[in-house]
Each structure stands twice: as C-alpha cells, then as structure tokens.
Structure 1
Amino acid sequence: MNKLNKTLILGMTTLIFLILAAIAGPSIAPYPDDWDDKIHTSEQETSASPFPPSEGHLMGTDFYGYDMFSMILRGARYTLFFCLAVSLVRVVLGTVAALFLGWRSREIKSSPVLGGLAAVPIVIFLYLLFAGVSYNSPVPPWILAIFQGIVIMLFGLPGVIGVLEEKVADQREKSYVEAAVSSGAGPVRILFKHILPFLIEPILIIFSHETISVLTIIGQLGILNMFIGGARIQFDPVIFLSMSHEWAGLIGNYKGYISSTSNWLILFPLGAYFLVLVALYLFSRGLEKYFHRKYGNAPHV
C-alpha cells in the first residue's frame, strides 16, 4: 500500500481553502470597500487610526481607517488568480512552442536566444516597463493587471520553452516515435497523441514552479512599490496605495511599519503572502514525491 502523501494533501487543502476564500472574498468582507473608521471618541479621549486588532476589526485598521481584514479578502483574488492565470498561460504556450521546437531539434540543436532571455533579471525590466502606467492610472485595476500579467508571462516563457524543448527532443528519439513515423503518422498527430502524454507529469511540476516564481516576482515588485493593478500616489508624505489590495501591494504599502507599534499593518498581509507561498511549495514537493513513487524516478525540471 502506498504511503499517504501528506505533503501533497496539505498543500492541496491549503490551496483549495485559499482559492475559496479568494472567490468569496468580496462577499464575506465585513466592511464595504469605501468604509473607514478614522476616529474613536470617548468621554476620556479621542483617538485616530490606525487601530489595533479588536473584536470589530480582527486585523486592525490602516492609517486611513480601512479594515485590514476586508482589504486582504478583496485582494486575495488578485494575488491568487493572477499567479495561477499567468503560470497557466505561460505553461500552455510554452508547451505548444516546445513541442514544435523539440520536434525540429535535429535541425536546431540549441536555442541561445531563449537561454539568454531566461537569464534576464526580470524584476528590473518589469519595473521600468510598468513605471509609466502603474501610478495614478485612469485604467481600471483589472485591465492593468491583465496587461501586467501578459508582460510577466512573456518574460518567463523562454525558460519554460527551454526546459520542455529538451524533453520533447528526448522523446523524439524514442523507438515508439520512430515506429509512428514509419507507419505514416504526421508530426502534429505524433506530437499531441504520442509525445504530449509523456510530458503531463513535468508540465504539472513546471506549472507549480512557475506559480511560485510569479508569486515571488510580484512580491519583489511590491517591495519596490510596483503593485499589480496599479497604485495611487499620495504626497506629503509620499505613500503608494495599492488599488487592488493584492497582498504584495499591501506589503509594499506598509513595509515601513515592521518595527513600529502598528506592526499589524505589515504582519497580516505578510502572513497571508507566505501562507500562499508555503501552500504552493508543499503542493509542488507533493507532486514530485507522487510522481517519484509512481514511476520510481522523479522527472527533474
């Protein structure tokens, strides 16, 4: 009897929970998006936001009086679905391109351009590309997020193609492919009916790795005050406010509060971000363990 894959189960369970929370987030948020709680007045004193976690605000409020828990719930869909969608499109396009490039590997032995693009320091280029459109943009956050997602997807595409191209080229030399060629099967049929099924396992693992990579990239951009969905800049003092409330953006908003008495502003979005990161890591490691047990040799990607 196979041992229970606790790593995969824990990763999948956590991801499913987070996805359900992201879907329901706007509906179950305790406060409307434009609701604020800036001033508390009592007989003894008057106090202003930010307010610490309490029964009325489970994760406290920010310096504008907005409920942190509500913002985290609303931002979950941008954080999770953005990473999953970018990774999915990247892997699908990369698989199709790798199938045809790998099939021609006898004529094209290497792809130096793809290898060079895969080594590009992506965050620097993304920051420069997004700087002109991400601040105080009149474009709705979801449209801006689509544009940012397409750009991030394209920058990571060469790496996916490079990995899968080698695997397709390896399968191209197998005897079952040569037999299919001898029987008169065309390249498209061989690629999608014969070779593609052998790539399912590495494709799934690559997808999990790419999702982690995209999450890491938006985290790095968030630290640089470049948020998915755009940012609104306020002056005196200069503050970058995430328009979508995605979690990397909230971390960027409140990173200056890590050592202050209002450190809940950074700790809660940081905790949510790391929860997704850990869930994706567990899911990825669980997949590798599953395929290793199934085939006796894990596909290294």
Structure 2
Amino acid sequence: MKNLLLLPLKYLLGLLGILLISCAPILFTPGQLFDFRLFFLTCWQVLKELLNPAAWQLNYRVPGTFDTIDVSFSDYFTGPYLYSMPILIASLLLALLLSFILAVMAMLSKGHAKPLLLQTTKVLESFPDFSYIFLIQIAVVQFYAVTGLLVLNFYSLGDALVYLAPILCLSVLPTLLFFKLFILLFEAEWKRPYFDLAKAKGLGNAEILLKHCTSNVLKSLFFQSKSIVWLTISSLLIIEHLFGINGILYYLRSDFSPIGITFILVTVFTPFFLFYSLAELLINKEGTERNAIFGKFNLSILDVIQLRSLISRLFRRKEVLNPIRRFLSFFGKRLKITIPFLIVLGLFSISVGYYLFFDDQVGQTQYLYADDGGMLSGAPHPPSSELPFGTDPYGYSIFQQLLVGIKYTIAITLIIATVRVVAGYVFGFIYVFYLNNKFRKAVTSIADGMHFLPLSLLVYVLLVPILIGHGEWTTTLTERLAIQVLIMALIVLPITMSSIGNEMNETLKKDYVQSSVLMGGSLIWILIKHINPQLWPKLVLNWTQHVVQVLQMFIHLGILSIFVGGAKAQVDSPRLIPEIYELSGMIAISREAFLTQQFWMILPPIFVFMLLIYCFNTMAEGMAENKQVPAVSKNEEVKSIQQATDLESPNFARLKERNQLG
C-alpha cells in the first residue's frame, strides 16, 4: 500500500526531469549561453501551460511546404502517436517471442548449434541498428527481381502507411538482446539443485525448461528488460526518420519548442512508466537497501595511521611493479581481449599517421573524364581503381574521410565513456555514504524513469542549439566538443550513479568489510582496500558497454545530422558543412543512400562502426568470462579478509588506540 501511494510521487519526479531536460536547450542558445534566469522562467512558463489543458497543442509543418498548423492533443494522439507506438510495442512483442523460441532451441540443441547461435548473435549485435533496414531491403529487392513479388514496402507516402517493414527492422536488435538474456538466465537455472532433482525423477530437459525454468526466469527478465526497451525506443526514432514515418520524431523536429518537447516526451514516458511501476507492485519488487551498519557508525573520512599505511604501500617497488606485470600478463594470455584491443589501436594509429604525414587531406572529385575528354560520371562516383570506396554526393573521397575520421570517433567515444564511469563512481560514492534513504529513493526513481525516455532523442534536443550554426560561431570548436562530451556523459548520470552505487552497496554487505568497520576502518580505507578491488572488474566491463552505447548514439545523431564538433547550415543548400571529418557525419546521407540504393556511400562507415562495436563487445565478453581485469588478482578477496583481521593492520591499531583512550 505504501509503494502504491509513492507511485504518484515517482511519476512527478519523472515529469520534473522531463521538464528540466526540455527547457535545457535554452541554456545553450547562442547569445544566451547558460542564462539560468531565462531557463527557470521558461520552466515556469511550460509548467503553467502543462497545467492548462487548453494549451496542449503542437505546431505541425505540412509536408512539402513551409506552412504550419496547430495540432490538438486528440489529433496528435489518434494520428502520429498511435502510428508510432503500435510499431514499437509490436516490435518488442515479436522480439520477445522470437528470442524465447531461439533460446529454447539453443538450450535443447546438441553439439555446436548453441555456440554457433551465440557467435552469430554477437556478430549481428555489432551491426548498427539502422543497418538492418539496408540488409532487409537488399533481400526484398533480390526476391522481387527473381519472383516479381514485392513483399514489403519501405517508405510511407501520403496515406500509404507502412507497418510490417519498420516492425521487422526494429525488432532485430531487441531479439538479439533478449536471446542473450534468456540464455544467461536459463543457464543459471540449470545450475540450481531443483534441476538435478527433476532429472533424477525422470523429467526431460524440454519439460524442465518449459514448465519450471521459464516461470523462474520471467521475473528476472522483466526487471532486466528496461535497458532493452530503452535502446528500442531510441531506435524507433531512427526507423521513423529512414522510413519517412510522420510520427513522434517528425512532430518533435517540427515543433522544437520547450512545451512541444515536454509534451512529446511525456507521452512516450507515461505508458512505459505505468506499465513497469504497476507490474513491480504486483510482483513485489524489493529495492536495494542501505547496509544497516553504516547507519550506526560515524566513520571518519581517513585515519592518520591508515593514511601512513596506504602511502608506505604505494611507494613499495613491489606494489608498483605488480599491477604493471599483471596488466601485461593479462593481455598476453587472453587473446579474446588482446586481439580486438590491437585492432582498435591499429585503426587509431593509422588515422593519426594520416594526420601526421598527409595533414588530413580529403580530395574532391566532381567529375570523372575519359581519355578522349568525355565525361564518364558526376558525383557521387561508385568505387573504382582511382576511388577505392567511391565518393559522397559532393565528390569527397569516402576512403580519405574514413582515414581522417576514425581517430576522432575513437578518441571522443573513449573520453565520453570514461567521463560517464568516473562521474558515476564519484557520485555513486556520495550516493552510498552521504545520501539518506529519501534522497536515494529519489535518485533511483529518476534513474528508473530515464529508462523510458529515448536517450538519443534527449541528446539530440540538447545538442541542436550547440552544434548547428547559422552564420558565425559564438563558441570555439574546443568549447563545442567539451559541451558535447559533458552532455553525452552526464545525461546518464542518474543511471550510472545508481548502478555503481548499488554495486558498492553489495560489497559493503560482505562480512569482512563489516569487520573492518567494527575495527575502526575509515571510509577511504574501506573504499581503497575493500570496495575498489571488488568493483574494478565491473567498472571496466561497464566502461566497455558505455563505449558501445556511445558508438550507437553517434550513429543515431549522425542520421539526424548532428555532427561531432558542429556543422554550419547553408542558405542555398540543405547540406550541413561539418567542422571536422568524423564517422558519424558520414552516416548523415543514410536516407539518400537508402532511397537511391547507392550503398557504397554508407557501407564503409557502417563497416568501421561494426568493427569497433564488435571489438569492444568481444573485450567485454572476455572480461566477463575471466571475471577479472588487470591489477586484480584471484585472491583479492582473501587478502582483504586477511587485512581486515590482521592484528598488525591499521584497523586494529586504531581499535587499540580507541581502547586506550577509553
């Protein structure tokens, strides 16, 4: 009953977050940068309009014209909203069904069928989500060429609405993710005692899997499905753009006002929030609780004796060299991590070398001529001996753009992922040790609400006023890059803070950590000697996952013409001129390549993104399999227990000192 009463409060916290995000572009408007007074005035104005149902309307731009009309809530809801949401829900249901069937087949298969399915899943997962549109289109076109039957329509024109093609394309990625999740949960169930008991009674694997394991994994699947839904909602926006669907994204880009952004985000957030919140109440979800021992002891931040011990250990040669040796040994013995790491390093080095020796030159070829002077072709040129990967519509070499852009994509991606994890770690520490239960629940509510908002859309909303220039820039390239990194990193801060904080909290529940507290361990001592060794492998794994997510987000932003470092709009052309060549900028012509079937313009950057995603996914998988990373030994927990109970440790020295003073 108490949780039911808290449901409206959680919903209001989610609405507050949406309101702040929707008005945040005001802070980055040229000439009014970080004008917080205007920001809060805008928030107040939007809040008043939300409380007035008569003001609930959007401005809709008529396709093919510059005319706009006002659209009421009922028209928006019955039109584009009920066009987009059924596609999203049908895709998730189809993905859930297909993934369950594939998982059951994999678990019941014998021989190499299961490893083959898992390896295929990992390869397909490396494809950018929008690339499935091209693959399915190529298959449909080839089928049409052979049979004369057009089984799918790929573009929405006028009243001819498309459903099947976007549903199929949108369901691919969640199918792969649900499949992997089913496999992990089923394998965990097969290790439980009841499985051996059922086998002893004569039950077959299929019967145990369907009657017993399935019912046990559904609860875990439900709670872990939030992240999959989160990614699928972001992918929906790209599917809408490429299929020409006048849905949620079209209305957002047509009415890019604070009230319009708030209104649309609320309509996306509300149904998923209600579904998950009510379902959690029905199955009685238990939240992560703060460890009780830290509510009873006032721990000092750092003890002098412990500080002396940490410094002495730091400057011991053995303590300095051991992490380095373990790091080199780790990469030397684990090819599953070493090979993809070297591939990424090699790509980055080649791109840097191109800058050092050729100054990032990108050639432009408008026309190709024959030996007799006749014109062979105009841009875009297909691949040839002179142009290995062809050119884009403006004649710029795709191969040279790749050589220039790889280093920027890799470097900025790694920076964003690192800022995310470091900020999550710092605020996770505050979350665990310094926030009371009310604030912790508020942060958790905001983090849960973030799972029901399309992340790419939020970043798009915040970056538009920064990265699209009209006339002269009011900010430098360095400033724009810094702001973009901070926005793309801190937009997920509530989620990273909550997840890393909960991981810290799990470590605090271990007996040897509580013993260290009882013996006088300070916060810094507990953090360095007990929490960090257990948390470090998970942080590195989390970091690689954020790298993959940032790469996917760059692809989404590139399709929406948001480029790294910004781009200038032109008066006489719809083309945006990017400030730097970067891989996501090459994705901006995806829709043109999609319609004209000039796939050579888009396949090279897609392949590079695939390779990067595959490499980081493989590294994450290798780290998860080994359950350790550099600088973390197998006996770390045993050493922590020994340190907590060592009579000569700083903890016991402090305890003796307390007894003497008492």
CA distance in 1, matches of 2:547, 2:569: 29
Q: Would the aligned equivalents of 1:103 and 1:172 in 2 still touch at CA under 8 Å?
A: no
Amino acid aligned to 1:131: V
Assess, with a 3 A threshold, how the Cα gap between structure 1 residues 31 and 217 changes in structure 2: closer, same or farther.
Answer: closer
> What CA RMSD, in Å, does the superposition of the two structures yield over aligned residues?
2.8
Shift of residue 212 of structure 1?
0.8
The answer as to 2:343 corresponding to 1:18 is no
Deviations 1:100-148 (A, max 9, x none): 3223578566433442453232222221211112123624444322211
Q: CA deviation at 1:237?
A: 5.0
3-state secondary structure, aligned to 1:58: coil
| In structure 2, C-alpha distance between the alignment counterparts of 1:256 and 1:241, rounded to whole Å | 17
| Secondary structure, aligned partner of 2:404 | helix
What is the aligned partner in structure 1 of residue 612 from structure 2? 276
**AA in 2 matched with 1:17:** G
SS of the equivalent of 2:565 reads: coil
Partners of 1:103 and 1:168 within 8 A in 2: no
For structure 1, which segment, 245-254 or 201-210, has the greater mean C-alpha deviation from structure 2 after superposition?
245-254
The match for 2:366 is: 38
Q: CA deviation at 1:81?
A: 1.0
* Residue 27 of structure 1, aligned match among 356, 372, 382: 356
- The reply to whether residue 81 of structure 1 matches residue 411 of structure 2 is yes
Classify the secondary structure of the residue corresponding to 1:232.
strand
Sort the Cα spacing of 1:248 and 1:255 in 2 relative to 1 into closer, same or farther, 3 A. Answer: farther
- The answer on 1:256 being equivalent to 2:586 is no
CA distance in 2, matches of 1:129, 1:41: 45
Corresponding residue to 2:444 among 112, 128, 137: 112
Gaps of 5+ in 1: 296-301
1:143 pairs with 2:471: no
Q: Which amino acid aligns with 1:208?
A: T
How many residue pairs get aligned? The number is 292
Inter-CA distance 133–104: structure 2 relative to 1 (3 Å threshold): closer
TM-score by length of 1: 0.85
Q: Provide the C-alpha distance between the structure 2 equivalents of 1:117 and 1:178, rounded to a whole number of angstroms.
A: 33
Supply the distance in 1 between the matched residues of 2:606 and 2:512 (Cα, whole angstroms): 50
The equivalent of 2:459 in structure 1 is 126
Cα distance in 1 for residues equivalent to 2:495 and 2:597: 43
State the alpha-carbon separation in 2 of the partners of residues 279 and 140 from structure 1.
33
2:494, 2:606 → 1: CA distance? 30
For 1:298, the equivalent position in structure 2 comes to none
- In structure 2, do the counterparts of structure 1 residues 273 and 235 end up closer, same or farther at CA, with 3 Å as the change threshold? farther
Q: Which moved more, 1:246-255 or 1:99-108?
A: 99-108
CA distance in 1, matches of 2:361, 2:394: 14
Q: Larger deviation: 212-221 or 285-294?
A: 285-294
Kindly provide the amino acid, as one letter, of the partner of residue 189 in structure 1.
W
Deviation of 1:201 after TM superposition, in Å, equals 0.6
Q: Residues 107 and 242 (structure 1 numbering): CA distance in 2 closer, same or farther, change over 3 Å?
A: same
Given the superposition, is the C-alpha separation of residues 261 and 164 from structure 1 closer, same or farther in structure 2, using an over 3 Å criterion? closer
* Cα distance, 1:199 vs structure 2: 0.5
**Could you list the per-position Cα deviations for residues 43-80 of structure 1 after superposition, in whole angstroms to 9, with x for gaps in the alignment?**
25124322222333222222322221111111112211
Distance 1:22 1:41, change over 3 A: closer
Between structure 1 and structure 2, the one with the greater Rg is 2
Amino acid at match of 1:56: E
Query: Which secondary structure state, in structure 2, belongs to the residue aligned with residue 201 of structure 1?
Result: helix
The SS at the match of 2:467 is coil
How far residue 40 of structure 1 moved from its aligned partner, in angstroms, is 2.9
Q: Give the structure 2 partner of residue 101 of structure 1.
A: 431
Q: Give the Cα–Cα distance (whole angstroms) in 2 for the partners of residues 62 and 256 of structure 1.
A: 10
What is the alpha-carbon distance in structure 1 between the residues aligned to residue 347 and residue 548 of structure 2?
Answer: 15
Which of 568, 575, 582 is residue 232 of structure 1 equivalent to?
568
Which string of whole-angstrom CA distances, capped at 9 and with x for unpartnered residues, describes residues 180-225 of structure 1? 2222221122112321111011001000011111111111111111
One-letter amino acid matched to 1:123 = S
Q: In the alignment, residue 154 of structure 1 is paired with which amino acid?
A: L
Q: CA deviation at 1:238?
A: 1.8
* 1:155 and 2:484 aligned: no
Q: Which amino acid aligns with 1:233?
A: A
Greater displacement, 245-254 / 43-52:
43-52
Instruction: State how 1:286-297 maps to structure 2 within 5 Å.
Output: 286-291=622-627
1:8 Cα offset (Å) = 2.5
Which structure 1 residue ranges, 4+ long, deviate > 6 Å from structure 2?
292-295
**Do the aligned partners of residues 226 and 136 (structure 1) sit closer, same or farther apart at CA in structure 2, a change above 3 Å counting?**
same
Question: Could you say if the C-alpha distance between residues 256 and 76 of structure 1 is closer, same or farther in structure 2, counting changes exceeding 3 Å?
Answer: same
The letter for the 1-side match of 2:489 is: M
Contact 1:248 1:273 in 2 (8 A): no
Distance 1:164 1:185 in 2: 22
Q: What is the deviation of 1:288?
A: 0.9
Letter in 2 for 1:115: A
Whole-angstrom distance in 2 between the partners of 1:78 and 1:7: 25
Query: Separation in 1 of the partners of 2:465 and 2:627?
Result: 44
Query: Which structure would you say has the larger RCO, counting Cα contacts within 8 Å and 6 or more residues apart?
Result: 1
How many angstroms does 1:5 deviate by? 4.8
Judged with a 3 Å threshold, the aligned counterparts in structure 2 of structure 1 residues 7 and 259 are, in CA distance, closer, same or farther, namely farther
How far 1:31 sits from its partner (Å)?
6.7
Q: Aligned with 1:40: secondary structure?
A: strand
Which of 70, 82, 85 is residue 400 of structure 2 equivalent to? 70
Please state if 1:215 is matched with 2:551: yes
Q: Structure 1 38/261 Cα, relative in aligned 2: closer, same or farther at 3 Å? A: same
Alpha-carbon distance between aligned partners in 2 of 1:22 and 1:135, rounded to the nearest angstrom: 26
**Structure 2 portions without partners, runs of 5+:** 1-332, 635-662
Distance 1:39 1:54, change over 3 A: same
Matched, 1:201 2:540: no
Partner of 2:306: none
- 1:58 alignment partner in structure 2: 388
* CA-to-aligned-CA distance 1:152-207 (integer Å, 9 cap, x gap): 10012222111111111121122222222222221122112321111011001000
Give the TM-score of the pair, scaled to structure 2. 0.41
Partner residue of 1:299? none
Task: Give the alignment partner of residue 7 of structure 1, picking from 336, 349, 353.
Answer: 336
Name the SS for the 1:54 alignment partner: coil
1:28–1:264 CA distance, 2 compared to 1 (3 A): farther
Q: CA–CA distance in 1 between the matches of 2:596 and 2:538?
A: 45
